[in-house]
Amino acid sequence: MPPATRRRLNIAPYVAGGVTIFVLVAFLLYPIGTTMLNSFAPAGEAFNVLNATLENFSRFFTSSMYQQALLNTIFIGVMVTVLATAVAVPAAYFVARVQIPFKPLILSLSIIPLISPPFIGAYSWVVLFGRSGIVSQYLNQWFGIQMPPVYGYFGVILSMVLSNFTYVFLFVQGALTAVDPHLEESARVMGASRWRVLRTVVLPLAIPPMLAGAMIVLIEALGEFGAPAVLGGEMYVLSTLMYFQIHGFFNLNAASAIALVNVLITLGAILFLIRVNKKRRFVTVGSTTRRAALQTGRGIRIVANCYVWGLLALALLPQLVVVFTSFAEKWPGTLWPTQYGWGNYQYVFSRVVEPLQNSLILAAVATVACVIFGTLTGYVAERKTFFGKWALDLTIMLPFILPGIVTGVALLVTYNSGPIALTGTALIIVIGYFVRRIAYIYRSVVAAVTQIDLKMEEASTVAGATWGTTMRKVTIPLIAPGILAGAIIVFTTLISEMSTTVMLYSARWKTISIAIYERLETQEISAAAAIGSITILVTLILVLTATRVIGKSMSELFS
C-alpha cells in the first residue's frame, strides 16, 4: 500500500495574495509611512526621533505662496466638483429620460475626455482663449471684448470640469436608467404631477450616485497635476508645488510635507462626502427589467438635445483643437496657422519614438502585473476567508484616494537612496503604476467572481480538477470579460499617465506625457499636439477593440 498522503492545501492563491500584499506593503504602505515621517525631518535628512521638526510645515504658516497653494487646491477642488456635478446631472437626466437619438454614441463620446492625455487638452484652452488665442482674437476684432486671462483659475477650473464631469454623468445616468419604473408610476398613480415626481422621487434617487461621482471628481481635482501645471501660470496648487520642490530644489522633505497636507485634505473631503451619503441609503430592488417611459414632448426634446450635444461639443473641443493643431506646420503667432501638413507627425515618428515605446512598454508590463496579481488576489479575497481580509481590501483601495503625485513622491522619497535605490529605473515607474492601478482589476474580479455560482467550481473539483485546473478551465474563462475590461482601462489610463510619472521618470525612461509636457514648456505646441493626437487615436482604438471583444459599450467599461 502506498504511503498515505495528507490532503494537499492549495497554496497557489495564497502565494499570489502574499506577493500582492508584499508589494503593497513595500511599495505603498511603507513609502507612504516613510514620506509622512520624513515630512517631520529637516531638509535632506531621514527621520529619526532626535531630529523631529515641524520646519517643513512652517512654510504653510510663513510662506504666502504655500498658503495660497493650499487655498487654491481647496478652492479649485470644490469649484470643479460643484460645477462638474451641476453640468453633469441635467445631461444625465436628459439622456436617461428624454427621447434623444444616438444615445450609445453620446455615452461613448462622453468617455473621450476621460481617456485623453490630461494636459494636452488643457493647453487647447490656451490655443483658443489665450492672449493670442483664436477665439480671443476674433472676440477682440469683432466685439472689442477682452477675454479674461486663461491662465489661472478660469482655465484650470474650466479644463478640469470638462474633463471630469463624465464620472457624475455616467453614474447618475446609469442609476436613472435602472430605477424601477414602478416607483415613478406609483407616485403618478397617487396623484403627483410630473414635476413633483421629478422633485420628490427621481432626483432624490439620483443623489447617491451623484455623490459617488462627485467624490471621484473631487479626488481627481485635489490631486490633479496636468491642468494646473499647464494653465496655472503664477497660480500654484499643492501638486505643482510638490513638483516645484522636487524639480527645483530636490527638497524631498518639503515635498513630503506638502504630500501629507494634500492627503489630509483629500481624506477630509472623502470622509465628509461619505457622511453626507450615509444618511441616504436606498434599497432599490429592481424586480423588473422594464425601463421607465421616455419623455417625448417637443419642448423638452429640443432643450435636451441642445444641452447634451452642446456640453459634449465643449468637452470634446480640446481634443479637436489638439488634432487641428497637430497639422499646423507653421503658426507664427498669427490668427490661424500659415501652413498645414504632416510635418509634425514626421517629426514625431523620427524623433519622439522612444517615449512612445516607453509608454507602451511600461503600461503593458504594469497592466500584465496588475492582471495576474489583481485577478488572483481578487479571487482569494472573494472566495476565501482569512485573517486581515479587511486590511487587504483597504490597502488595495488606498491609491483610489491618494493623489497620484503623492504616490510618486512617496516612492521617490523612499527608494531614492539606501540599499534599494530605484530612482531612475523603469522598475520604479512600473511599481508606481502597479500600486495605483491594481485596484481596478481587483475590483472587476471581485465583482465578476461574486457572480459565479460557487457550485460551478465545486462541480469542477468533484469531477477531478485541481484548483489550478478549475481556475484555468472554469473560473478564468467566466471572469475574462471583467478582467479584460479592467485591463483596458488600466492600460489606456497608464499610456498617458502623468501625475505619478512626473515624479519618477528619468532621462532614459521618458513617457509620452513627459514628452508632451516638455514640448509644451519649450513652446513646440504643434509637436506636442501631434504626440497627443497619436495617443488619443491609440487609446480610442484600444477601447473600441475592447468593447467589440467584450460586447460591452464604452461607457459600461468605465462605470
Partner 1 sequence: MASSSPAPARLSVRELTKIFNTPEGPATAVKDVSFDIAPNTFFTMLGPSGCGKTTTLRMIAGLETITSGQILFNGEDFRRKSAFERNIGMVFQSYALFPHMTVFENAAYGLRLRGADEATITKRVHETLAMLRLDGLAQRYPADLSGGQQQRVSIGRALVYHPGMLLLDEPLANLDAKLRVEMRDEIRRLQKALNVMALYVTHDQEEAMAISDVIGVFSKGRLMQLGAPYDIYSAPISLFVADFIGKANFFPVDIESRDHGRAAVVALGGSRFAGVKTVTAASDEGEWFVKPQAALMMSRPEQMWLSSAGQQLDKPAFTGRALRIQFLGSFVRYLVETGQARGEVIVDLPAFAEGVSEGDEVRFGLVGPSLVFEEGSR
The amino acid that residue 460 corresponds to is S
Site residues for partner 1, 164-183, by CB under 8 A, read none
DSSP 520-546: HHTT-HHHHHHHHHHHHHHHHHHHHHH
Instruction: Name the minimum Å distance from CB 286 to partner 1.
Output: 21
Among positions 473, 508, 541, 544, the unique one binding partner 1 when judged by CB under 8 A: 473
Query: CA-to-CA distance for 61 and 119, rounded, in angstroms?
Result: 31
DSSP 216-246: HHHHHHHH--HHHHHH-TT---HHHHHHHHH
Instruction: Map grid coordinates 471583444 to a residue.
Output: 549
Are 151 and 234 in contact by the 8 Å Cβ rule? The answer is yes
Among positions 312, 396, 471, 474, the unique one binding partner 1 when judged by CB under 8 A: 474
Query: CA-to-CA distance for 323 and 534, rounded, in angstroms?
Result: 9
Instruction: Name the minimum Å distance from CB 543 to partner 1.
Output: 24
Determine if 51 is a binding residue for partner 1 (CB under 8 A). no
Stretch that binds partner 1, among 3-11, 73-81, 117-125, 403-411 (CB under 8 A): 3-11
Among positions 15, 313, 459, 544, the unique one binding partner 1 when judged by CB under 8 A: 459
Query: CA-to-CA distance for 490 and 96, rounded, in angstroms?
Result: 28
Among positions 6, 275, 281, 298, the unique one binding partner 1 when judged by CB under 8 A: 6
Determine if 477 is a binding residue for partner 1 (CB under 8 A). yes
Are 542 and 492 in contact by the 8 Å Cβ rule? The answer is yes
Instruction: Name the minimum Å distance from CB 474 to partner 1.
Output: 6
The DSSP output letter for 234 is T
Among positions 52, 71, 391, 456, the unique one binding partner 1 when judged by CB under 8 A: 456
Please state, as a whole number, how many other Cβ atoms lie within 10 Å of the Cβ of residue 3.
4
Determine if 461 is a binding residue for partner 1 (CB under 8 A). yes
Contact track, partner 1, 414-453, x by CB under 8 A: ---------------------------------------x
How deeply is 280 buried, as exposed, middle or buried, from its count of CB atoms within 10 A (0-12, 13-18, 19+)?
exposed
Q: Parallel, antiparallel, or unpaired: how do β-strands 328-330 and 339-340 relate?
A: antiparallel
# binding residues, partner 1 (CB under 8 A): 22
Instruction: Map grid coordinates 469649484 to a residue.
Output: 79
CB closer to partner 1 out of 276 and 478: 478
Instruction: Name the minimum Å distance from CB 485 to partner 1.
Output: 17
CB closer to partner 1 out of 196 and 473: 473
Determine if 375 is a binding residue for partner 1 (CB under 8 A). no
Determine if 4 is a binding residue for partner 1 (CB under 8 A). yes
Are 124 and 162 in contact by the 8 Å Cβ rule? The answer is no
Site residues for partner 1, 236-265, by CB under 8 A, read none
3-state secondary structure of 265: helix
> Which residues are near partner 1 by CB under 8 A?
4-8, 453, 455-456, 458-466, 469, 473-474, 477-478
